[in-house]
Amino acid sequence: MKKKMVLPILAAASLFFSPFAGHIASAESADKTLEGTNGRKIVIHKPDDISSAKINELVSRFKKGIEEDRADNQKMNLNKNVSESVYGNAIYDYTIIGEDYVYKYEEAPNQDPVLTIEKPNVSYPIERQIDAISTSDYNISDGIGGRQDIVKSGSYLSTLVRLPLESQVVKQKAAYNYSGFTSGAFEADMGLMYDSNVGPNGLEKGWKPTMIVKRGGIEKPSSLVVGYADVQGANAYLQGSNVNLYVWYNDSGKVRMKINGTATCANQACSRSNDTPLISIMETNVSLDINTVDQWKLLSTVVSTGKSGKNRATFSSIKVDGGSVPSSAFKAPLLDHASITRDGNNNVTIIADQNL
């Protein structure tokens, strides 16, 4: 039996930017000796204490995961609202969230693959708690937002997410549109966060993947990964665009997320700024052995002071294990300066606004 992690927060990371402002140890060495796909060499950025054996293990895991994802796309009944026939020309960003390190692998068209390993400094306090719910209503202790819970058994939830336009977001500290699940003491937030400094020269705005898995709350973490700031650099999903979001609570024991959509750049440095398909995968490094899900969730939130800011998202084609979710599975919405509407096709629109 695999040993379970017992930390208050089991894994948390943002693919591009962390709102926790942790300091990241810079990569101390780079290597171009490992063989990637299509005859290209893998560029490696890592701390000195990462062994060659560990590098080989990680590269094998990333390459296998990408191959399996491409194969799964052919057999799974996934959302087709965003074209998934673009895999051959897409960027693949694959992130494994460990207790002590974050491992990030990128394959981009006509470029050398890049493996980046970073160890965050975790000596700072956790500030974000966007899912605090009182007994009477939805009460976000440091912001505003709406939450739609869904009770339906299955191994994964998928949905098409319509991201807001620039005029529809005032992020204050941060803005999030995401899914996830609740399972006993486990709570997982899995989706996208808003960044106003992306693209070439940091002059654009967009949405970046983020995944947080916590157990028994977020108080007093000791040794954990809570985010990192510069693995993916300047790239982001386009505001106002559609992305496909998939969340698994137990994918071979691991919590896993996948996002498929269009990014503003063709590489992480945004030296090539043409719009490019981007597939982002995040998963926990170890099995968490979550055996069932109590409920899935859909949220749009703003982290702020004084109940200020605004955000929105529309979740459509909501499915569990590829099957449409019936109306009876949707629980009463939870609101804090927000509105939630659901149409006849069970599309859910969440608007968070300080004026509501």
How many C-alpha atoms does 80 have within 13 Å on its Cβ side?
7
- Measured between alpha carbons, how far is residue 98 from residues 44, 202, 226, 286 in Å? 18, 28, 10, 8
pTM listed for this prediction: 0.85
* Per-position b or e across 26-40, b if 16+ CB within 10 A of its CB: ebeeeeeebebeeee
Question: Residue 278's pLDDT is what?
Answer: 93
Provide the pLDDT for residue 232.
Answer: 54
Can you give 161-226 as a three-state secondary structure string? EECCCHHHCECCCEEEEEEEEEECCEEEEEEEEEEEEECHHHCEEEEEEEEEEEECCCCCCCCCCC
Query: CB 315: neighbour CB atoms within 10 A?
Result: 24
Per-residue pLDDT at 241 = 96
At 81 the pLDDT is 47
Give me the pLDDT at residue 152, please: 97
pLDDT along the chain (356 residues), means of 10: 35 41 36 56 88 92 91 58 58 87 88 84 39 50 91 97 97 92 92 91 91 67 36 81 96 94 88 89 90 96 89 97 96 96 97 94
